[in-house]
Amino acid sequence: MENYGAAYVFINFEQAMALGHIGWGFKVEPDRYFFGSTDHLWNREYPMWHPGELIRYMDVPAGANNDYWSAYGTEEEMLTVMRSGPHVRYHSYKRVPVAVPNPAAAIAFAEALKHNGWNVARNNCVHQSHAVLTQYSGPILPNPHTTLDRIPRRWFAAIQAEEMVLHDRVRNIFPILMRSQARRKIS
């Protein structure tokens, strides 16, 4: 079983007006992981509710800064960075075992994301995480191209794996967008 891989999906439940934000990670070799996200942070002069800025925020053209980042580390280092790193902090994750991983393809695809822009409807954190992890594992995750499963909270809830809590979230203000599943807190 040592040759098996593992795909990780991370979520921050409070980002993007509480619709959530997704990050990804995967096992490269024994106790070495590659992980990251396209955070697409609000780096604007005006508040998010400003209509013009909100419209501009919804699309980042290819080649522009989409706040992509990635790193290597042990599993513990990955979980620590995702819990409290210098970017979006994630609340929970799901780990999905992978029988035949392809880390080289996933790393190459992930690194290309820094130049691929971002779009709220067709190239958001869900689409990008799904694409990276599909390069790694094949089709093991839910389709992110249905209308509701573009929403990070919904897509994360649809993943058939146990939710592990990195740190508690403040509140769930959109309960209708969540599918209930058992969660287990890790230390």
Distance of alpha carbon 47 from alpha carbon 38, whole angstroms: 21
Whole-number Cα distances in Å, 47 to 43, 108, 164, 170: 10, 35, 33, 22
Closest CA to 185 of 92, 114, 70, 113: 92
Encode pLDDT of 20-53 as tens digits: 889 999 999 999 999 999 876 655 566 666 676 6
**pLDDT reported for residue 178:** 44
**pLDDT reported for residue 164:** 96
Would residue 16 be called left, alpha or beta, if left means φ above 0 and alpha means ψ between -120 and 50 degrees?
left
Distance of alpha carbon 112 from alpha carbon 114, whole angstroms: 5
Distance of alpha carbon 32 from alpha carbon 112, whole angstroms: 21
Low-confidence ranges of the chain (pLDDT < 70): 1-3, 40-50, 52-59, 117-121, 147, 169-187
Cα–chain center distance at 25: 8
Q: Note down the domain range covering 20.
A: 5-185
Q: How many separate domains does the chain show? A: 1
**pLDDT reported for residue 32:** 98
Distance of alpha carbon 51 from alpha carbon 70, whole angstroms: 31
Burial grade of 114 (CB within 10 A; 0-12, 13-18, 19 or more): middle
Q: 164 forms bridges with which residues in the sheet?
A: 93, 184
Token pair listed for 14: 């409070």
